[in-house]
Amino acid sequence: MTHTKVAPGKRPPAALAGGMPMPGWPERIGKAVFLTIICAFVVVPFIGVISTSLATPEEVTRAGGFVMLPTHGIDLGAYKSIFAGGTVTQALLVSCFITGVGTLLALLLTCTLGWALSRRGTVGNRKLLLLVLISLLFNPGLIPSYLVVQQFGLLDSLWAVIVPVCVSAFNVIVVRAYFVGLPDEIIDSARIDGASEWKLFWYIGLPLAKAVVAVIGLFYGVGYWNSFFNAMLYLNDSSQWPLQLVLRTYVVNGVEIGGQDLGVGSEALPPQTSIQMAILMISIVPILAVYPFIQRHFAKGVLTGAVKG
Amino acid sequence: MTDLDVARPPRATAGNDAGAPTKAKPTRRSLFTRLRRDYPVLLLAIPGLLIILAFQYYPLLGNVIAFQDYQPYLGIDQSLWVGIENFRVLFDGDPEFLNAVKNTLILTAIQTIIVFPAPIVVAIVLHSLLSNRLRQFVQSVIYLPHFMSWVIVVAVFQQVLGGTGMINNWLRTHGYDPINVIGNVEAFRALLTAQVLWKDTGWATILFLAVLSQIDRALYEASAVDGATRWRQTWHVTLPGLRPIIILLLILKLGDSLTVGFEQIILQQQAVGADVSEVLDTYVYNNGIIGGNWGVAAAVGLAKSAVALALVLAANKVAHRFGEEGVYRG
């Protein structure tokens, strides 16, 4: 194999990506700059948000709002005041409830349905699969969806945010594709040992699908944690608001958050920007916390669905 | 159903008896026996199916209010039927509606031209990296914004670009005039585009990278033997390799062409007004749920869904004609 562009003895051709010739210096520098810029675009705003939430009140006031790097030490006042009780704590609890209960319910229903659809040869299997697939092609529309939630009496209930989105047809297809790929021998031998369908699913199928379940769980979890529009649509009582709605009101719309909302005396209040950034941070942190554990499974989870489904 | 072999009795071999062919016996067991055999599986499927039926299929019936003068306190049963009255807004060219159509199409066009190719470029660059570690690091970083909600994205953009934000602070301390991006009608479309790019470019590379990793190395080696430069290889090997997935995604995008940035726009609509920001989805929301024109909103929603479905089906046909696989076969 002669690589015309490779200087002899520089690097064995086997190490080259996809048999491409060795890139020249201009290209490598260009790529380094390009990648640094796109990474900086992602990272820099987050650093700014963290910094502003942690900077001392004096520094925030002096900077006129946004602090890029706190040079005068760190102050946790903003976090103390948002956790002192009141609006933000309440919203945090609501968000945790929606996310926790929603994700568990969603995973259970999605995996059971995916498992059932993976058992080929059972009554109506193909028709049911078609039913799920067709639902991917259309969208029921905002107004009819609203009317259905209303009709089921779910308005102003957290279940309105949880239940309508707890089975995503796409995720069902992803899980099903994975279950279909499991070797029949395992399932058959377990059945010979007398395992019921539920036991097959719970002790054989689910543990083997751990990676896929983790990724789908992340998708559902993030979806619930981020639920904003459905909450806005279905929850009128502000005491039921999840974090995202609080974030919209006090950060995006810039409504002043006062001592009363936070449950603290208003004299001791840190600057608005610090409080806003602290609220923003607590809505970002849970995602950052689970992200490293699950992101290595992304490609696998996404691609099972995209390629086979 | 070819998977039923377990349940299938041995086939009678025809033609053994001279003369009368054996009458084809039903090869399946009766529905009842099969139901008895399979009910545990079906029980597992039921909860999930019920949710799909209740929240995907059942709402379709609710679209009848597009033909009604729907009053929430009367309900669907008692509201008056008005025929296609609600669709007048589509035919008569109601200016607000036309404005929403215009904005939707403009945003879709911008996104197809700018947002769609961006991840392809990024994926090609990432794929050409020699270091796996570096590639994985960059991937982890650029996937991240995808998991932020629109509220967070909009809030972050406000903090960076807003009046007291990062960029304006810098400009002010260095003696320049601050730039007003947030709430600026002229910059609104650019702002939306930047936000979409920031949020999802990285994530969208995942599919392209997967396809790139499947391109046969021999193609690169062969082209190298023929003296192709890296640039020529990208053009003649990499891009053709991506062709099927690009076409597939364009078809899917076409189906979504009447859907742009709903949450993103709802969050920022107040700041710039309806002129540039009203799209079909926000029109339905503002007219129906906020304005109480349920029938009209449902009519617009229904028309939108119908057009979207038709677009997907048509695009799929076109793709077949060009010899591509498309979204589904048949």
Split at pLDDT 50, 70, 90, the class of A20 is low
Split at pLDDT 50, 70, 90, the class of B75 is confident
Is A1 within a domain? no
Q: Cβ–Cβ of B312/A45 closer than 8 Å?
A: no
Q: CB-based contacts of B302: which residues, under 8 Å, 6+ apart?
A: A141, B63, B66
Q: Cβ–Cβ of A148/B62 closer than 8 Å?
A: yes
* Tens-digit pLDDT profile for residues B247-302: 888 887 888 888 888 999 999 998 888 889 999 999 999 999 999 999 999 999 99
Structural tokens at position B31: 């529905």
Is A19 within a domain? no
Is B173 within a domain? yes
Contact B185, A274 (CB under 8 A): no
Structural tokens at position B66: 């597009």
Interface test with A, best of B30, B166, B284 (most A CBs within 10 A): B166
Structural tokens at position B20: 């009368």
Is A13 within a domain? no
Is B289 within a domain? no
Q: Find chain A residues with C-beta within 8 A of B256's C-beta.
A: none
DSSP characters for B47-94?
A: HHHHHHIIIIIHHHHHGGGGGEE--TTTHHHHSEE-TTGGGHHHHTT-
Q: Find chain A residues with C-beta within 8 A of B159's C-beta.
A: 45, 48-49, 52, 66, 276-277, 280
For helices B188-213 and A25-54, angle between their N-to-C axes, nearest 10 degrees? 130
Query: What count of CB pairs under 8 Å joins A to B?
Result: 301
* Tens-digit pLDDT profile for residues A29-61: 999 999 999 999 999 999 989 998 898 888 888
Dihedral sign from CA coordinates of A33, A39, A45, A47: negative
Same-domain check for residues A30 and A178:
no
pTM for the predicted model, two decimal places: 0.86
| C-alpha span between B217 and B215 (Å, rounded) | 6
Instruction: Give the residue from A240, A208, A114, A118 showing the smallest Cα distance to A169.
Output: A114
Is A80 within a domain? no
Same-domain check for residues A71 and A98:
no
Of chain B, the percentage scoring pLDDT greater than 70 comes to 89
Is B110 within a domain? yes
Is A282 within a domain? yes
Average pLDDT over residues A76-85: 86
- Count of structural domains, chain A: 2
Position B280, amino acid: L
Residue A300 CB neighbour total at 10 angstroms: 14
DSSP characters for A226-284?
A: T--HHHHHH---GGG--HHHHHIIIIIS-PPP-HHHHTS-GGGPPPHHHHHHHHHHHHH
Same-domain check for residues A39 and A124:
no
| C-alpha span between A121 and A187 (Å, rounded) | 14
- Count of structural domains, chain B: 1
Split at pLDDT 50, 70, 90, the class of A138 is confident
| C-alpha span between B213 and A18 (Å, rounded) | 8
Dihedral sign from CA coordinates of A143, A145, A146, A147: positive
* B-chain residue closest to A16, CA distance: B130
Task: Quote the strand ranges of chain B, DSSP E.
Answer: 68-69, 80-81
* Tens-digit pLDDT profile for residues B76-121: 888 889 888 889 878 888 899 999 999 999 999 999 999 999 999 9
- Beta strand B68-69 with B80-81 is antiparallel
Q: Is the pLDDT of residue A285 over 90?
A: yes
Same-domain check for residues A266 and A288:
yes
Q: Is the pLDDT of residue A221 over 90?
A: yes
Q: Report how far Cα B252 is from the mean position of its chain's Cα atoms.
A: 6
Same-domain check for residues A146 and A283:
yes
Same-domain check for residues A169 and A270:
yes
Split at pLDDT 50, 70, 90, the class of B326 is low
Contact A307, A174 (CB under 8 A): no
Is B232 within a domain? yes
Residue B19: per-residue pLDDT: 46
Contact A290, A220 (CB under 8 A): no
Looking at residue A124, which CATH number applies to its domain? 1.10.3720.10
A153 touches chain B (CB under 8 A): no
Is B226 within a domain? yes
Contact B278, B260 (CB under 8 A): no
Same-domain check for residues A35 and A115:
no
- Among candidates A34, A137, A307 on the partner chain, residue whose Cβ is nearest the Cβ of B309: A137
Q: CB-based contacts of A198: which residues, under 8 Å, 6+ apart?
A: B40, B44
A285 touches chain B (CB under 8 A): no
| C-alpha span between A31 and B7 (Å, rounded) | 60
Same-domain check for residues A152 and A255:
yes
Is A14 within a domain? no
Residue B328: per-residue pLDDT: 62
Structural domain boundaries, residue A68: 26-75
Residue B223: per-residue pLDDT: 85
Residue B249: per-residue pLDDT: 86
- Among candidates B59, B207, B220 on the partner chain, residue whose Cβ is nearest the Cβ of A19: B220
Structural domain boundaries, residue B125: 101-272
Query: Can you list the alpha helix ranges (DSSP code H) found in chain A?
Result: 25-54, 57-63, 77-82, 87-118, 125-134, 142-151, 159-162, 169-180, 184-192, 197-199, 206-208, 210-225, 229-234, 243-247, 259-262, 272-294, 298-303
Interface test with B, best of A43, A105, A111, A147 (most B CBs within 10 A): A147
For helices A87-118 and B31-52, angle between their N-to-C axes, nearest 10 degrees? 160
N- to C-terminal Cα distance for chain B?
18
Residue A11: per-residue pLDDT: 44
Contact B299, B90 (CB under 8 A): yes
Is A257 within a domain? yes
Q: List all residues of chain A from 8 to 47 with a beta carbon under 8 Å from chain B.
A: 15-21, 23, 27, 31, 34-35, 38-39, 41-46
Same-domain check for residues A163 and A199:
yes
* Tens-digit pLDDT profile for residues A172-214: 998 998 899 888 888 888 888 888 889 999 998 999 988 889 8
Contact A46, A61 (CB under 8 A): no
Same-domain check for residues A222 and A264:
yes
Looking at residue B127, which CATH number applies to its domain? 1.10.3720.10
| Lowest model confidence (mean pLDDT) among A62-71, B118-127, B173-182, B202-211 | A62-71
Position A52, amino acid: T
